[in-house]
Amino acid sequence: MRPQVFRGIGVSPGIAVGKALVVEVRRPRIKREPVDPARLPLEISRLRQALEASRRQLLEIQERIAKEVGPQYARIFDAHLLILEDRWLVEQASAAIQAQGVNAEYALQEVLEPVRQAFSRVEDGYLRERRTDVDDVGDRVLRNLLGQRGSVHVEGMRGEAIVFAHDLSPSDTAQLHRDAVLGLVTETGGRTSHSAIMARSLEIPAVVGVEEICAHVVNHETVILDGTEGLVILDPDRETLARSHARKQQLEYAGRALHKLGALPAETQDGYRVRVTANIEFPEELPAVQAHGAEGVGLYRTEFLYLNRPDLPGEEEHFAVYRAVAAEMHPRPTVIRTLDFGGDKLASAIQLAAEENPSLGLRAIRLCLHRPDIFRTQLRALLRASAFGSLRIMYPMISGVAELRAANAILEDVMAELQRQGVAFDPEIQVGAMIETPSAAVIADLLAREVDFFSVGTNDLIQYALAIDRINEQVAYLYEPLHPAVLRMLRGVVSAAHNEGIWISMCGEMASDPLHGLLLVGLGFDELSMTPGAIPLMKRIIRSVTYGQAADVAQRLFGCATAQEVEGLLLLEMRARFPEYFAGDGVPGVEGRPGFP
């Protein structure tokens, strides 16, 4: 009988071979129970006690994680603590108890459900996965109200269990110990979920997004988990097991070799230099950025400052975060993207009307121009922080020259204001535009005259160019980074940038995939910004070829008519050049995909 092979998203690298254990994550079941009016104050008191107990528990988890794997990962739970400590939550839940005359559990669930649904509808993957933070906090408080233990228990596992679950919250994942669990597989989740970050911090191989796999798993059967390639193999035969053990040793050896490249530049054998930088979302990721040899931060997402709060962050809060990053990375550059989500996420603070399609509505630079007070606060903080390191400002979702000029006009006005006030900043700070709309790609030559650099955000650009809703499972398969139309668009944008004498980066997920390395170098990108863990392998690829060889590979790909043809040619090329990293025959019936040792 052939092994069963499932594909998911590899979020924590490594190969594990062990026994399967399917865990049922117990979510509290809540009923609506009427409460006598005289006892309503007691319900509110129960709620407050449960919130405080939850806060203490999270602080204990945070302390343990800080000791075991580092304070930068413990800060993942800062968002959870912010939710618990937010007066809005206790006030709304208390009001629901009083108004409806119901139990605290039901009132809390009623208050949190609209928040969960709002995050579920968000198109942006990073923001959508913040729903799990709300779930995690809500479930913890509910369990404390009900007097229940944690949602998942793994104390009995020792050394050879690969855990399967529908989903795991960050708190669930934090319970796991490296000596008890070999790997994790979930049916839900994505690369930017806090559970994925926790798995990486604990160095537990993990694959997420494997739909309905729990229905196929038999407890205690042997399974192979490949968190590097995003594969799960059930009931492997001896031949597959032997190949997996060999592949594991190969990856461990290759990983040690890649680690030595950290301090070396990403330069082709004929001297063409490509800056390899990191995408980050939280300040606590900087140690990983430096450990993997990043030459700077190519994309610093600032949305975390606005999440899980009823108000807007002030200038000093912005400034403290940006200054710390600038100083930590100096003299390496840090590109900070201005606010890049919609008013639907800031509704409690700015009270905008609901939109039927927020992803195409008042978001990113459009929202900033609509609410210049929000924009100016962030720009003032960014400019002030530029006195402490090499900062660059990048506007998201630019669609035309008028929009770009309007943003620059506000920036120039803020600069003049700071000068009048005698506040120090870098007057030569570089300003860039993200190319993530088809209109921006088409008029890239015009936009290039207004900025110092471009950064291509492939996640949105591909989606808009191919008219694909990435969160619609029925059409998600049409999301193809290697579509010939996308390649032609990228070639045109690079050409437009260089013709106007500005540099160009790519910061979307496409840049994190080593399969695309030769293509992107061959197209002429000056910088590639990616997840920190992808940096060593990308450096290895760039340092192993000449620019001419990469350009030749890219040119040959333009003769392909489909994304499948492009991918096939790239796989052949990369397997021939880097067989140790691009497996082609390790798993029966599966086309090998690259991964990160």
Residue with tokens 């855990």: 163
Residues 6 or more apart in contact with residue 290 via CB below 8 angstroms: none
Contact status, residue 561 vs residue 548, Cβ threshold 8 Å: no
Alpha helices in 182-303 (DSSP H): 194-201, 238-259, 286-291
Choose, from 292, 318, 507, 516, the residue flagged as catalytic: 507
Give, as one character, the DSSP assignment of residue 282: S
Residues 6 or more apart in contact with residue 559 via CB below 8 angstroms: none
Rounded-to-integer distance, Cα 450 and Cα 47, Å: 54
Residue 296: which region, alpha, beta or left (left: phi > 0; alpha: psi -120 to 50)?
Answer: left
Half-sphere exposure of 161 (CA within 13 A, CB side): 19
Rounded-to-integer distance, Cα 457 and Cα 436, Å: 5
Beta bridge partners of 20: 162
Bridge pairing between strands 231-234 and 222-226:
antiparallel
Provide the token pair at 317: 């809060």
- Mark whether 194 is an active-site residue: yes
Residue type, 100: Q
Our measurement of the distance from residue 467's CA atom to the centroid of its chain's CA atoms, rounded to an integer in Å, reads 22
Rounded-to-integer distance, Cα 509 and Cα 279, Å: 10
Helices 484-499 and 458-466 pack at an angle, to 10 degrees, of: 130
Choose, from 194, 292, 318, 516, the residue flagged as catalytic: 194
Residues 6 or more apart in contact with residue 304 via CB below 8 angstroms: 79, 281, 282
Q: In degrees rounded to 5, what are phi and psi of residue 76?
A: -55, -35
Rounded-to-integer distance, Cα 582 and Cα 467, Å: 31
Provide the token pair at 114: 């609209």
Give, as one character, the DSSP assignment of residue 274: -
Residue 297: which region, alpha, beta or left (left: phi > 0; alpha: psi -120 to 50)?
Answer: beta
Q: In degrees rounded to 5, what are phi and psi of residue 354?
A: -65, 150
Helix and strand numbers (H, E) in the chain are 24, 16
Residue type, 412: E
Neighbours of 228 (CB within 10 A): 24
Residue with tokens 């030769």: 518
Residues 6 or more apart in contact with residue 10 via CB below 8 angstroms: 206, 207, 226, 227, 228, 229, 230, 231, 595
Contact status, residue 275 vs residue 296, Cβ threshold 8 Å: yes
Rounded-to-integer distance, Cα 268 and Cα 409, Å: 39
3-state DSSP call for residue 365? helix
Active site residue ranges: 194, 507
